[in-house]
Amino acid sequence: MSNILLIDDDEDMLAMTGRWLEKAGYSVTKATGGEEALSMLKGLKPDLILLDYAMPGMDGPATLAAIRALDELKNIPVLYRTGMDDDISGDADGVIPKSEGKPFLMKAVENALS
């Protein structure tokens, strides 16, 4: 079973996405911000990280930079989740628009884990 770390400041988005992934058989860990996620990553090595791009405090790009700076985590695929229309992929392995529904999310997760 693959472990996915969800990082999002929107608790409703965390809950909904977590339910979708858990029903599909994934193990899900949730963090409400970049600082919390980095603290959790000291004892966790997920197979995939779904990272909100725009968050207060430590935003997605800052969180991703911190993840990529750690040798033991730098090869974990990271997909941004965003409500923005801009091209924001940067160092992420992909982007999942929040406006897309469950089928798009599940396909992106499946592709990232394969």
Biggest CA-to-CA distance, the chain: 34
Alpha carbon separation from 14 to 9, 60, 75, 86, 112 (Å, rounded): 8, 15, 23, 22, 19
The stretches in the chain having pLDDT less than 50 are none
Amino acid at 20: W
pLDDT for position 85: 63
pLDDT value at position 113?
A: 95
CATH number of the domain within which 41 lies: 3.40.50.2300
pTM of the full structure: 0.93
The C-alpha angle 24, 29, 32, rounded to 5 degrees, equals 120
- What is the number of structural domains in the chain? 1
39 phi, psi to nearest 5 deg: -65, -40
Which residues span the domain enclosing 25?
3-113
The pLDDT assigned to 52 comes to 95
